[in-house]
Amino acid sequence: MTAAAGGRIVELREISLPLVAPFRTSFGVQTSRRILLARAELDGVQGWGECVAGDEPTYSAEFVDGAALVIRAELLPRLSAQGAVAAGSVSDVLAGVKGHAMAKAALEMALLDAELRATGRSFAAHLGATRTRIPSGVSVGIHPTLDDLLGAVSRYVAEGYARIKLKIEPGWDLEPVAAVRALIGPDLPLQVDANTAYTRDDIDHLCRLDAFDLLLVEQPLPEDDLLGHAQLAARSATPVCLDETIVSVTSAADAIELGACEVVNIKPGRVGGYLTARRIHDLCVDRGVPAWCGGMLETGIGRAANAGLAALDGFTLPGDISASARFWERDIVVGPITVTDGQIAVPTGPGFGFEVDLDVLDEVTTWVERLT
């Protein structure tokens, strides 16, 4: 890919998609998602980017309306001032704007997709990734009752998922985890995710999760509590994984060095794009730290891209890359992502390897803004 062959962002669009079932985490319940998409063009070739910011700023500071605003008011003017921009230059061109990683990532993604399509290369090939299939993990929300949870987990096990992740929060942790471990037996990998719901006062309590042979406990404490995570990691047998804390290569390197992070969840949107995600992957390989690819309720666009990224060898644990049908009745891509024998096929088509279903896309679009 030549750096000079840059494209332009030509469209912003918001869609609204209902979830197949409510998804509850420690930071809220979702029943549908508003999703911001960016379209790029390069020599008549289209590329798409998906912004993973949620409807509300409850997972991180970013949210859909804020992302749309910062893209229009700050990011696009900086990109336009350059004329055409290569995806590899986006993070430098936008570095003067603090934060807004998810908004920046969506623009870089659209430009990268267009560039790769223009040269006929797949994202996985561009990365040098060789895996053709990746294991698929499923994330299971907090349920109203234990019976409901066990019913949901049983269905995912029957669908063949290679790993189960349970959302936890104070009051919904040891008991559901024990019940699910008893249901699935000792061999199916199980992990938990608290999305910052605990404090340092809960370290003794969190150590009781050691009884359940978990792959990891993800982001139990607030994102800025590196010391607390290091204290927990020193005490608990269950590896501590960070998600919300890891917003850059530097934050990942520091968290690893300080003993606060024994496993890294790599989410391209949270770190400012797929190119930075790749650098964090390389850091993890260099430090011998296991990594996996997180999910943010993406459509088939982001899901295909995550599958390409997760084809890299350093993603040693199953990612949160489940079937489109896990969240969506109808995805906006032709040929939604499916899970077979617990695995997802790494896309081989040009770019991120999805094909947008333009009819479905138009049906679910709430607004479109053409920029040329």
Residue of 193, 225, 262, 357 that binds ligand NPG (CB under 6 A): 193
Tell whether residue 352 is a contact of ligand NPG (CB under 6 A).
no
User: What is the bridge-based pairing of β-strands 240-242 and 217-218?
Assistant: parallel
Give yes or no for a contact between 123 and 350, defined as CB atoms under 8 angstroms apart: no
Tell whether residue 191 is a contact of ligand NPG (CB under 6 A).
no
Residue nearer to ligand NPG on the CB measure, 219 or 236: 219
Residue nearer to ligand NPG on the CB measure, 262 or 298: 298
Tell whether residue 328 is a contact of ligand NPG (CB under 6 A).
no
Tell whether residue 353 is a contact of ligand NPG (CB under 6 A).
no
Residue span binding ligand NPG (CB under 6 A) among the ranges 10-18, 101-109, 122-130, 290-298: 290-298
CA-nearest of 287, 250, 247 to 268 is 247
Tell whether residue 220 is a contact of ligand NPG (CB under 6 A).
no
Tell whether residue 297 is a contact of ligand NPG (CB under 6 A).
yes
Residue span binding ligand NPG (CB under 6 A) among the ranges 105-113, 120-128, 151-159, 296-304: 296-304
Residue of 189, 294, 342, 347 that binds ligand NPG (CB under 6 A): 294
Q: Which residues pair with 192 in a beta bridge?
A: 166, 217
**Is 165 part of the annotated catalytic residue set?**
no
Cα 90 to Cα 79: distance, rounded to the nearest angstrom: 8
**Is 167 part of the annotated catalytic residue set?**
yes
Give yes or no for a contact between 55 and 34, defined as CB atoms under 8 angstroms apart: yes
Residue of 71, 192, 296, 317 that binds ligand NPG (CB under 6 A): 296
- Closest-approach residue to ligand NPG (CB): 295
Q: Which residues contact 271 (CB under 8 A, 6 or more apart)?
A: 101, 105, 246, 247, 248, 249, 277, 280
Tell whether residue 139 is a contact of ligand NPG (CB under 6 A).
yes
Site string for ligand NPG, 26-55 (x = CB under 6 A): ----------------------------x-
Q: Which residues contact 51 (CB under 8 A, 6 or more apart)?
A: 35, 36, 37, 38, 64, 67, 102, 103, 105, 106, 269
Residue of 91, 191, 195, 245 that binds ligand NPG (CB under 6 A): 195
Number of residues that bind ligand NPG (CB under 6 A): 13
User: DSSP letters of 33-51?
Assistant: EEEEEEEEEETTEEEEEEE
Cα 104 to Cα 62: distance, rounded to the nearest angstrom: 11
CA 322 and chain centroid, separation: 11
Binding site for ligand NPG (CB under 6 A): 54, 59, 139, 193, 195, 243, 294-298, 320, 322
Query: Which residue numbers are catalytic?
Result: 167, 267
